[in-house]
Amino acid sequence: MNKRTIGGTELSVNAIGYGAMHLSIDRPRRPAEGASIDLIRLAVDELGVDFIDTADAYCADDSETGHNERSIAEALRGERRNRVVIATKGGSVRPEGRWERNGYPDHLRKACEASLRALETDRIDLYQLHAVDSRVPIEESVGALADMQREGKIRYIGVSNVSLDQLQSAMRETTISSVQNQFSLINRDADDDA
């Protein structure tokens, strides 16, 4: 596979990564835990996947926050972990299964620290603000991530589900290494903001 460097980082990954959300968000239809772990290992060992995208909110509801991250950690225990870049996100919450945003700095700090534990690591390769919380200036949200980066908990910072104006505001606060917005044949909204 062709390698790509993420933004201005030192992270070099294959052009196709693995988005693990579907392994956790829909409790009745998601794969059994063992099958999820086997699938991640297959992707890494046989298909060359070296980039996995997850989030603390990839779960059925707030009773199992971090479900997806814990599955990934279990699948990658041992030497596999050294072969994979993990990108996770914080700033979304799942009360009773709903999707809501929480971009307050204190929440993001707690979310990042919980992700470190769930992923069984001491530093997250790429930590992204999952979505902008309209109650909190994006500068405050990414400022909290920058603080944790200086503390060594986060290697690189990214943002997700942002407009161009929001991205520019975030970039005035800290270096943003990645932008993860929805863009597909079905969802072309990002075209309108380019």
- Distance between CA atoms of residues 47 and 57, nearest Å: 26
79, with CB counted inside 10 A (0-12, 13-18, 19+), is exposed
- Distance between CA atoms of residues 172 and 151, nearest Å: 20
Catalytic residue among 58, 104, 127, 156: 58
Does the annotation mark 58 as catalytic? yes
Locate 182 and state its tokens: 């929805």
Locate 175 and state its tokens: 């270096």
Tell me the Cα Rg of the chain.
16
Residues assigned a catalytic role: 58
